[in-house]
């Protein structure tokens, strides 16, 4: 069954916690759950670490805990050490009935660095990608033994950003490693989202409906801005925003044709002082539900 969710970074950013710092946590939850009507919400730095407290807090606003970002450091530590580090996050996922774990390698990522151009992201050699893929696959197999899919998030400022890197990563990993497909990061990374999704849809278990303002994304590249500077400039937006470049209809049609039954999450960080999260997230959810009905996804 398709469910629709959001991410708290629309209100309070995780990479730069000064963005939206003045917005009360209760407002985030009330707007997301009671006012807009999302089914669930992803992880954020405001949420309690205790798994039961987390479930009860979100549930009081009618929200399920969808999953949330987990940062691996497999380029610098063993799979065994990663599994040990993962245990607190695993406890939250299991207590809340999560089926996927949003995962991204961050040991050398630059997306949270305010003064490093996103163009200067790290990359791996073919040999390095093969070694990394083998470790991710082993970690994913452990997650699978716990009843959870590892949903790898290709992301700006990391070693898996461009369509070529997505392809190489998927080749370097095996069947246990699944993909979180993010339309906005795909476009920003230089890809055609419909084409990239088509190549890997058999392994997609989580979907981020992020939109991109192409003029701002170009400026970020041309002026060598950081990822955070791009966020504040308005690089990202929600489905339905006429300034956005992503056509979500063919993407949702692909999901429908392949029997996708996971979460569709609006993960679109903006400056809440400039673009009201309640208004933009409402627009995004209404747009996704309309398109999903049109293509037979719901």
The CATH number that applies at residue 21 is 3.20.20.150
First vs last C-alpha separation in the chain:
8
Which pLDDT belongs to residue 68? 83
Which pLDDT belongs to residue 1? 86
Q: Give the structural domain span for 263.
A: 3-294
Question: For the chain, how big is the Rg over CA atoms in Å?
Answer: 18
pLDDT tens per residue across span 188-201: 999 999 999 999 99
Q: What are phi and psi of 265, to 5 degrees?
A: -120, 130
Q: Which helix (H) or strand (E) holds 150?
A: strand 149-153
Residue ranges in the chain modelled with pLDDT below 70: none
Q: Among 209, 167, 165, 212, which residue's Cα sits nearest to residue 188?
A: 212
Which pLDDT belongs to residue 243? 97
Which pLDDT belongs to residue 235? 97
Count H helices and E strands in the chain, helices first.
11, 11
pLDDT tens per residue across span 5-42: 999 999 999 999 999 999 999 999 999 999 999 999 99
Q: Which helix (H) or strand (E) holds 103?
A: strand 100-105
User: Any residues with CB less than 8 A from the CB of 169 and at least 6 apart, and which?
Assistant: 129, 132, 133, 152, 154, 160
Number of domains present in the structure of the chain: 1
pLDDT tens per residue across span 63-89: 999 998 999 999 999 999 999 999 999
Using alpha carbons, list the distances in angstroms from residue 136 to 174, 203, 258. Answer: 9, 15, 25
């Amino acid at each position: 069954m398709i469910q629709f969710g959001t991410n708290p970074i629309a209100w309070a950013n995780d990479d730069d916690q000064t963005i939206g710092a003045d917005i009360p946590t209760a407002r985030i939850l009330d707007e997301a759950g009671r006012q807009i009507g999302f089914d669930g919400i992803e992880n954020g730095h405001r949420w309690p670490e205790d798994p039961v407290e987390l479930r009860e807090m979100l549930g009081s606003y009618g929200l399920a805990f969808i999953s949330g970002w987990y940062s691996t450091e497999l380029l610098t530590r063993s799979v065994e050490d990663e599994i040990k580090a993962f245990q607190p996050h695993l406890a939250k996922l299991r207590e809340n009935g999560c089926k996927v774990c949003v995962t991204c390698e961050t040991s050398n990522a630059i997306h949270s660095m305010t003064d490093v151009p996103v163009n200067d992201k790290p990359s791996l050699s073919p040999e390095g990608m093969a070694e990394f893929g083998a470790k991710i696959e082993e970690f994913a197999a452990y997650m699978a033994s716990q009843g959870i899919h590892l949903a790898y998030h290709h992301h700006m400022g990391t070693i898996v950003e461009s369509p070529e890197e997505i392809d190489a990563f998927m080749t370097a990993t095996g069947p246990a490693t699944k993909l979180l497909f993010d339309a906005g990061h795909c476009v920003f990374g230089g890809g055609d989202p419909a084409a990239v999704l088509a190549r890997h849809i058999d392994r997609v278990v989580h979907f981020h409906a992020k939109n991109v303002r192409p003029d701002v994304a170009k400026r970020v590249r041309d002026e060598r801005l950081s990822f955070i500077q791009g966020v504040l400039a308005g690089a990202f937006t929600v489905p339905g925003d006429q300034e956005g470049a992503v056509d979500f209809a063919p993407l949702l049609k692909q999901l429908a044709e392949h029997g996708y039954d996971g979460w569709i999450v609006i993960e679109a960080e903006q400056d809440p002082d400039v673009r009201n999260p309640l208004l933009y997230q409402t627009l995004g959810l209404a747009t996704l539900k309309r398109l999903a009905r049109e293509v037979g996804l719901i």
